[in-house]
Structure formats: C-alpha cells, structure tokens
C-alpha cells in the first residue's frame, strides 16, 4: 500500500475502519486526482454544454449537471485545461471535486426559498445552490475569513447569480439577527481535510490527531449555532471532506443527543453513496466506532441511520461525509425587518436610468435598488435588513457611480442574458481570447456600452465603443495571462 507519505496514525485508523478494503482505499493515492466539472444551468442546460464542450465528459450518478473530465482538448504545442478555457471565464461551469457535488443535491434547495451557506468559500457548493434556485429566493453566502470571502465573491460573480448576499460574519452574529429565518442551512464544516490529501500536500503536512480533535470542537459549536438559523420544519445539512469519525458520525450523534427537535433524514440514495459507519458512534462511547462494513443500503437506507459517505475507492472524487437533518414543526420562517433603502440614492438614480435606457432591456424595481458608498446593488425581493453586519455584497452588484455617470460592473455583465443587452458584440474563440487579455478591438456600431459575448451566446464582460473602437473593460485582476 502506498502509505509512506501519509501520517502513520491516519493510516492505522483507516486500516481499522476499512479492514480488507484498506488496500483499495490507499491504492487511489497512486492515481492522479479526478477533474470534476459542473455545468451552470443559469446559462445553459447540461446537454447543451456537452454538445459544445471541447472535453470528454463522463456523467456523475449523483448530480445531473456534473461530469468527470476524461480528456482535455489539445492541439500541437497547446494544451487547454478546463481552468484556462474561455468557457470557464464565461462561467459556463465550475470546477469542483466530484464527491463535493453530492452535497447540494442532498440539501435539495428549491427556487423561492431562503437558504444559507454558512461556510461558503471558495464557492463550489454555493454556486451549485444558486443554480438550483434559478435566481429565485434569497441565498446568503457567508465566509468568516476576510480574504477567502473575496474568492467567494469572484466565483459568484463569474457564475452570474443575481439573488445572493455575501456576508463576512461569525455564525453567532448571524444567528442573533436571523434566528429561525432559513428554509435550508448548509454547514460545509471546516475540517481536517483528509479527503484533500491527494490534491493538497499541505493537508498531509498539517494533519495530526490533535488537529482532528480541534476541528471536532469547532464543528460542534458551528453546528449548534447553525441549528438556531433553521426555521421549524426546515432542513440542516452537515458535510465534511474528511474520513475521521470524530468529525463525522460523532458530531451528528452528539448533535442528535442535544437537539431533540432535529431528526436524521434519508436523502434519495444514488449510485456511489455508501452508508455511514454502523451504528452511528456515540460521542460519549469509550470504544469508538466499530469497523466499517461495506454493506449495501437496504431500501434506500444505510445502517446507522441515513448519513452518507462517499469513499474514493468506491466512487469518483476524493471522499465526503453528508448528513441531512430536519427540524420538527411547520411554522413559517421568522420575518426580520426588510432591507432599508440607503440615503443618497435618489439624486443618483438618473445616472443609472440613463445607463439602463442606453444599454439594457432590463427592468429592476426601484425599491430593490440599494446604495453602498458609490456602489449600486439590486437586492433580492424580501431581503432581510442586514444593517450592522459585515456584508461584502448585499445583492447583485450592478456597478458604480462616478462623478457624472454610471459605470457597469463585471457582475452585471456575467449575469445578463444577451437579449437583456441593447448592444452586443459577438466574438469567436480567437478574438475572445484577445479580449480576455484586455485588448481593444474594432466593431462597427453606435457609440456606448456594449456587452461582449462569446459566439453571441455567453457574456464575457463590457466594452465601450467610440467611433468603431471598442475599449476593453474586462477587469484587470481577471486578465487571462
């Protein structure tokens, strides 16, 4: 077994858990990691993307929008990876671990709901939730780390989601403001990252039994607070990318002991899902978990309740643990104060209206517009009042007011359908590549803002045409190098 580079206590524990399956589990470390791709259904259907994809795609059994990339398009001297392709810049897909793509499917968000992703960066599961919501409802994406929250914002911007509020807060402060507000809450818990050992050597370096124990303490506190945010009758999903029972089954068993108003629920069982350790080990038990037995779920239920494990030797991806819980009751979600319009917007609205009339076929109700400093946002309908909380983006960022004009944002461009723009410029792949290098180009037409698209279908960003020359307004920080 190729275990020399893995921490000995980790190896010993996995042998004890997996028994005769341990050699197959450790053998996966000899293979290169899978590349997972999830199609953005805010922009196109999965079958549409398969028809135009330059990659050989193998469908996932647990996510109808997810694929394993088997082969990348290449030509002599050139190899185009999924992360450097024009389709990625246009937000047509998100690159996400294959097993991680099961989490939002288990959470099962619905359009029109109020949903919270409590530990959202870098945005894989958040973008999946946003796609399933189809821009209807309120999605709060929270990330406590001040640097990672901007990675989250950039990924959501490229995804083209319009109904997302991005927060940089502690779970406790969110719970104090939004208690019992959400229909569904996802806790993608910070964990020891054992499922990332194949992709991230630093995860192996940082691992220790003490680190696992510390993660379990944090996870317990986060999950307890998350429970306060779920309305009666609502759903709570807990997920990790670690194999440690101390961070998985132990956490759920203790939570159920302490929260009589929650129950573990069986999600729809998909090929590749395996049952959690059986039985769910009690956090108070002295003996720890019994060895894992690779028995098939009966009637959609795995032994030990309904929690799921995805093992990398039994299914594509790096491995995950997922537990779906439901809160008893059927009361309506709490209704906090609605968001309040900011002062000063009235005097600036003419600049926005002038831009909208010039550049967009899009109506946004004035009561949803929100000003933060010079930045204009469109809030999702029925957004809660988040004043006093650290909010990075309170809604769809439309653009910024300058001295005597309105300048549109990249987030506005990437969330538009081409038909929602009055002026568009269609570029082929070669010209689009030059645009992503921030080159200007010539295109005849009326002066003013134009939406630059790939093949007339997929927005890439803004340009501003002056006498046939389109000046490039692609964000400099995103320039394709």
In the set 191, 215, 237, 241, the catalytic residue is 241
71 burial (CB, 10 Å; 0-12 / 13-18 / 19+) is exposed
- Are residues 81 and 68 in contact, defined by beta-carbon separation less than 8 angstroms? no
What is the CB neighbour count within 10 angstroms for residue 33?
16
Phi and psi at residue 186, to the nearest 5°: -105, 125
Name, in order, each residue with C-beta under 8 angstroms of 470's C-beta and a sequence gap of 6 or more.
425, 440, 441, 442, 443, 450, 452, 463, 464
Pairing of strands 375-378, 396-401: antiparallel
78 burial (CB, 10 Å; 0-12 / 13-18 / 19+) is exposed
CA-to-CA separations, 259 to 227, 228, 374, in angstroms, rounded: 9, 11, 45
The reply to whether 241 belongs to the active site is yes
Nearest to 481 by CA among 433, 431, 429, 441: 433
Q: What are the start-end ranges of the H helices in 360-405?
A: none
d(CA 148, CA 301): 36
Active-site amino acid positions: 241
């Amino acid at each position: 077994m190729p275990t020399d580079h893995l921490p000995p206590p980790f190896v010993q524990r996995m042998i004890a858990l997996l028994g005769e399956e341990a050699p197959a589990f450790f053998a996966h470390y000899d293979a290169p990691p899978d590349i997972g791709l999830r199609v953005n259904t805010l922009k196109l259907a999965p079958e549409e993307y398969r028809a135009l994809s330059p990659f050989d795609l193998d469908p996932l059994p647990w996510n109808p929008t997810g694929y394993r990339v088997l082969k990348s398009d290449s030509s002599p001297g050139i190899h185009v990876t999924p992360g450097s392709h024009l389709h990625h810049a246009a937000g047509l897909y998100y690159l996400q671990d294959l097993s991680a793509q099961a989490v939002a499917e288990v959470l099962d968000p619905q359009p029109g709901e109020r949903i919270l992703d409590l530990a959202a960066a870098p945005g894989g599961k958040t973008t999946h939730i946003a796609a399933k919501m189809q821009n209807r409802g309120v999605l709060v994406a929270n990330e406590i780390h001040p640097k990672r929250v901007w990675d989250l914002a950039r990924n959501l911007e490229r995804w083209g989601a319009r109904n997302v509020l991005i927060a940089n807060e502690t779970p406790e402060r969110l719970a104090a403001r939004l208690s019992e507000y959400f229909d569904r809450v996802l806790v993608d818990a910070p964990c020891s990252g054992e499922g990332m050992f194949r992709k991230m050597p630093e995860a192996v370096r940082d691992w220790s039994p003490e680190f696992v124990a510390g993660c379990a303490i944090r996870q317990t506190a986060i999950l307890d607070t998350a429970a306060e945010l779920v309305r009666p009758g609502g759903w709570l999903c807990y997920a990790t990318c670690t194999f440690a029972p101390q961070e998985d089954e132990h956490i759920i068993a203790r939570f159920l002991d302490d929260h009589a108003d929650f129950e573990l629920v069986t999600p729809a069982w998909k090929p590749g899902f395996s049952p959690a350790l059986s039985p769910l080990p009690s956090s108070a038990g002295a003996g720890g978990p019994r060895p894992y037995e690779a028995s098939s779920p009966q009637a959609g239920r795995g032994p030990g309740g309904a929690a799921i494990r995805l093992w990398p030797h039994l299914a594509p991806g790096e491995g995950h643990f997922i537990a779906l819980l439901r809160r008893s009751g059927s009361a309506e979600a709490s209704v906090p104060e609605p968001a309040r319009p900011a002062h000063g917007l009235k005097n600036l609205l003419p600049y926005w209206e002038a831009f909208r009339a010039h550049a967009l076929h899009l109506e946004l109700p004035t009561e949803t517009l929100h000003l933060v400093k010079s930045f204009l946002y469109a809030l999702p309908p029925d957004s809660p009042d988040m004043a006093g909380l650290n909010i990075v983006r309170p809604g769809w960022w439309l653009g910024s007011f300058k001295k005597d004009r309105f300048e549109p944002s990249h987030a506005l461009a990437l969330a538009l359908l081409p038909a929602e723009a009055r002026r568009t410029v269609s570029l082929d792949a070669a010209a689009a590549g030059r645009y992503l290098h921030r080159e200007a180009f010539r295109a005849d037409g009326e002066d003013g803002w134009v939406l630059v698209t790939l093949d007339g279908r997929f927005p890439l960003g803004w340009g501003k045409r002056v006498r046939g020359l389109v000046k490039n307004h692609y964000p400099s920080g995103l320039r394709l190098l």
